[in-house]
Amino acid sequence: MIKPHGSDTLNPLFVEDADKRAALQKEAEGLKSITISSAAAGNAVMLGGGYFNPLTGFMNKADTLSVAEKMETTSGLFWPTPVLNAVKDAGDIKAGDRVALKDPNVDGNPVIAIMDVAAVEELSDADMTLISEKVYGTTDAKHPGVEALLEAGKILLSGDIQVLNYSYFATDFGDTYKTAVEIRSEIEKRGWKRIVAFQTRNPMHRAHEELCHMAMERLEADGLVIHMLLGKLKPGDIPADVRDEAIRKMVDVYFKPNTAIVTGYGFDMLYAGPREAVLHAVFRQNMGATDLIVGRDHAGVGDYYTDFGAQEIFDDVPEGAMDLEIFKADHTAYSKKLDKVVMMREAPDHTKEDFVLLSGTAVREMLGEGKAPPKEFSRPEVAKILMDYYQGLNS
């Protein structure tokens, strides 16, 4: 099986031993505490599940700026985006303290992790600008990732953590949320050797489905991991439970048995385009995938990124930095000429009118009116689930 990123074995930060976990929960009652941001809680969940291997906690200022500038930590570890615990006010917390980190996303704000604080540092306005420009490609405060970065605060609490739970992901998405450890175990159990990962924050339409089939066929892969984001999205995105139901239905009907598994990970979307695509590749390697599909405007939002910037950035990844390979996909659409879904770059004799192309807005309007999109665009079983959701919004 493919090695994890940066180490020979996976090192998840979740405390598996129940007695040790209970002792830490008890200890937390007597510690200084702070309620962290949703983004930091998502980072803790990813660290806990082994997705952010080989990191042992939250980054300090030097590593944060190095990662933003050069995609590597000060020690030389390749890493594409800062992993932060940023707060507005650290109170009386200081270096050397052991601190309970409270979850902002669960009622009662339970302790999600215990942190050994190595440093308390403040980012300057110039630092924040650098991070925004390098990681998100913009300083526009309307960009959802930049907005979340600015909202969290400029004070960094760095240091190693011990993770005590997986927040609401394990409870609200019990059948879907899986750690990198669990996915590796499932891959091993199925005997898969070459594994394609597909990232999604949306339901999968016909083109997405066919793209997965294409990648599996061309790479001669044994299996597919459809890996959906379960954390916070921007307003208007379809909730995770609806996506989950729609994707599972598609897999049940249109994929052969033992060729695809549907899972999810607990993280808030960054909308960081190219940089987030590289992060996706890193943590897909950690979960055991050998290949990741990267398509047009992967992890993008609005008009902040070029169509294929998320593919081009991999040309800047140093040789040997990652073992996982990228499957570069063009925009896919149904060809009326060929009566099948194709990558548009592979159909040079086509005009725009030869494809079934629908905007997201048009599709949402159709679904909201109880009209199914054309069968060439969406499987009827998937469309039914989405129609029920949108009609519920309008009722």
The residues annotated with a catalytic role in the active site are 201-202
Count CB neighbours of 82 within 10 A. 23
**What residue has token string 């990681």?**
135
Asked if 36 and 159 touch (Cβ cutoff 8 Å), the reply is no
Count CB neighbours of 202 within 10 A. 15
20: helix, strand or coil: helix
The DSSP code sequence of 36-88 is PPHHHHHHHHHHHTTTTTT--EE--HHHHHHHHHHSB-TT--B-SS----EES
Nearest to 286 by CA among 54, 64, 118: 54
The strand pair at 325-328 and 291-294 is best described as: parallel
Distance (Å) of CA 258 to CA 189, 205, 208, 223, 251: 11, 21, 19, 7, 10
